[in-house]
Amino acid sequence: MNIKVAVNGYGVIGKRVADAVRVMPDMELVGVADVATDWRVRTAVGLGLDVFAATPGAGTAMRAAGMPVAGTLADLLSQVDVVVDTTPKKVAALNLEAYRAAGVKAVFQGGESHATTGHSFVAQANYATALGRDATRVVSCNTTSIVRILGALQDSELLARARGVLIRRATDPGESHQGGIMNTLVPESSIPSHQGPDARTVRPDLDVVTIAAKAAHTQTHTHFWTLQLTRPASREEVLETLRAAPRIAFIRMADGLTASNTTVELMRDLGRPRGDMWEVAVWEDVLTVEGDEAYLTYQVNNESIVIPETIDAIRALAGTVTDGPTSIATTDEVLGMRRDFLPDALRAVPA
């Protein structure tokens, strides 16, 4: 019995969720809904997906633009077990009542507040508490990375507190003609930035403070962390802890991966769909540990890191897989996630 899934909002996140659902052995993508009529939604039609009109006005516009329309959002909801809402920030929360009325479970994204669903999700941290719920929110890209990395260190009883600086991309690559800053760096106006408090919606006991700024590029986010450990530890111990956790992979300056654009290019060369990187990419040879302090740098592909979490959230709400690690393992294997982007044999020999 496959989980029948709808995606509402076929944008940056929605199209990736739709693709991931289509390759999962236990899921079926029934259709996608949107309000747009341009190339983005036409691509879905070209892929053979059933496209539904998310609003009455959208149905009229889609038909006028000559697009095949499979039905209304209500028609789509009547055929599915779970809807993934990937509409823009603040639009999604307005849909919650319609999902409840249709008896369909709903996965929201990080643009919505924790209060919208009362539950925020990162698979490795709290899969079990999402089981059978009617809705959850997959936290944002940065928050997902924070929970993965700091959560792994906290589970190993190594982390006392974390202070991080986040350099964010200005806008998504496909939207940089519409906006985005240029030739500057824009600090967020308040400290902590929202990501640290947001991580505590998933792991309330994390002692974390984040400071963030937007930089004038579209090449993913980069985080810089100072970690107070619970005791002196070796660099190898910190690395082993991260190696043992899911959805963290390593990159190395020694391999020429010296900047965020090089990692983006590597993902393309590895044949990743759209160049996606679902893992947090930790710079292994930058990690430094001195006594009971660790210093960590990693890269987050904002467009794709939440995709595996969303797939796990679908299973958790549907209740078909009750064990988080089993769901994570299935998702990661089907997507082709890695623990190392360059296997040992392909790494640069240390000088």
Q: Point out the annotated binding site.
A: 34, 302
Classify 216 as helix, strand or coil. Answer: coil
Question: Going residue by residue from 310 to 329, which x/- string records binding to ligand NAD, judged by CB under 6 A?
Answer: --------------------
Interaction of residue 100 with ligand NAD, rule CB under 6 A: no
User: What Cα–Cα distance (Å) separates residue 293 from each residue in 160, 163, 183, 266, 285?
Assistant: 10, 11, 34, 31, 16
Q: Which residue is nearest to ligand NAD (CB)?
A: 11
Q: Assess 308 for contact with ligand NAD (CB under 6 A).
A: no
136 is a site residue for ligand NAD (CB under 6 A): no
Half-sphere exposure of residue 11: CA atoms within 13 angstroms, side-chain side? 15
141 in catalytic set: yes
The secondary structure of 248-306, three-state, reads EEEECHHHCCCCHHHHHHHHHHCCCHHHCCCCEEEECCCCEEECCEEEEEEEECCCCCH
Q: Which of 5, 7, 12, 30 binds ligand NAD (CB under 6 A)?
A: 12
Which residues are 84's β-sheet partners?
A: 7, 107
What span, in angstroms and rounded, lies between the C-alpha atoms of 83 and 316?
Answer: 13
CB of 93 to ligand NAD, least distance (A): 10
Is 172 a binder of ligand NAD (CB under 6 A)? yes
Binding to ligand NAD in span 111-130, by CB under 6 A = 111-112
Query: What is the end-to-end Cα distance of the chain in Å, rounded?
Result: 54
> Rounded to the nearest whole angstrom, what is the least distance from the CB of residue 149 to ligand NAD in the complex?
17
H or E element, residue 324: helix 324-335
Which residues does residue 165 pair with via DSSP β-bridges, in sequence order? 211, 224
- For position 170 contacting ligand NAD by CB under 6 A, the verdict is no
Catalytic residue among 6, 17, 141, 206: 141
Q: Which of 6, 10, 70, 93 binds ligand NAD (CB under 6 A)?
A: 10
Size of the site for ligand NAD (CB under 6 A): 29
- Verify binding: residue 303, ligand NAD, rule CB under 6 A: yes
Residue 335 touches ligand NAD, criterion: CB under 6 A: no
Using alpha carbons, list the distances in angstroms from residue 172 to 78, 152, 169, 179, 311: 33, 28, 8, 10, 22
Q: Which residues are catalytic?
A: 141
Q: Residues interacting with ligand NAD, by CB under 6 A?
A: 8-14, 33-36, 40, 54-55, 86-89, 91, 109-112, 140-141, 172, 302-303, 306
